Amino acid sequence: MRLLLTSAGVKNPSIHRALVDLLGKPIADSNALCIPTAGYGHPQASPDRVWRFISGRSPLPMCELGWKSLGVLELTALPGIDEERWVSWVRETDVLLVNGGDALYLCHWMRQSGLAELLPSLHETVWVGLSAGSMVMTPRIGEDFVGWKPHTGDDSTLGVVDFSIFPHLDHELLPENTMADAERWAAGIPGPAYAIDDETAIRVADGTADVVSEGHWKLFS
């Protein structure tokens, strides 16, 4: 699986080019499934925010990029569906567009639905994460980002990559997301960790990560 881990979606031309590069073809020729699940787990979540993500009316560009086709994959529904049906939907898509919200809630439903188990076999699929949709692929999110609490009681996520992510760095509406806050957060995270602003993404292909940015970011190693 190839990853484009963003803070706020496909916000600028550099991130857009990185997405097309990972797809290996134009967006207009690519089929997408959007995963809104994380949006329901966040304390500030609301049905209208989830609808805006799905309908492409969010200020965080994901679903409105001009996909050949776009469907919705709601993870909480999958346990009640025959696995052969939904697995074929995932295998036939080019890209998974994963909403922000609560990373631990998303992680829980990725495991409960079986999607997490399927990921290693999706060699050609591109995963585009938005905030929590990116953080879920890391080993840990840090206590600062724990909202919905899993039964395990910790902050561990899927560990598909070996680094953690502090999103929305220096966002004007998030006074607790300064670089000093990110440094304090990183001190409690074992292993490498990135702080990225909304103009930055981390691209992962063939096991190698690189930063795509028109903004600012920092790697804590």
Structure tokens at 43: 């304390």
Could you give the 3-state DSSP secondary structure of residue 196? strand
Structurally, how many domains does the chain consist of? 1
pLDDT of residue 131: 97
Q: Evaluate whether 131 touches 162 at the Cβ level (below 8 Å).
A: no
pLDDT digits (tens, 9 = 90+) for 110-151: 999 999 999 999 999 999 999 999 999 999 999 989 988 888
Mean pLDDT of the chain: 95
203 beta partners: 4, 210
Structure tokens at 108: 């829980």
pLDDT of residue 47: 85
The one-character DSSP state at 150 is -
d(CA 216, CA 166): 12
Residue labelled with tokens 């585009």:
128
User: Length of the chain in residues, anyone?
Assistant: 221
Residue 167: give the domain boundaries: 2-220
Residue labelled with tokens 């600012």:
216
Burial of 147 (0-12, 13-18, 19+ CB in 10 A): middle
Instruction: Identify the CATH number of the domain in which residue 162 sits.
Output: 3.40.50.880
Tally Cβ neighbours within 10 Å of residue 48: 9
Whether the per-residue pLDDT at 214 is higher than 90: the answer is: yes
Model pTM greater than 0.85? yes
Structure tokens at 173: 């509406």
pLDDT digits (tens, 9 = 90+) for 19-50: 999 999 999 999 999 999 999 988 777 788 89
- Top pLDDT among 108 and 221 is at 108
d(CA 194, CA 183): 10
pLDDT of residue 92: 96
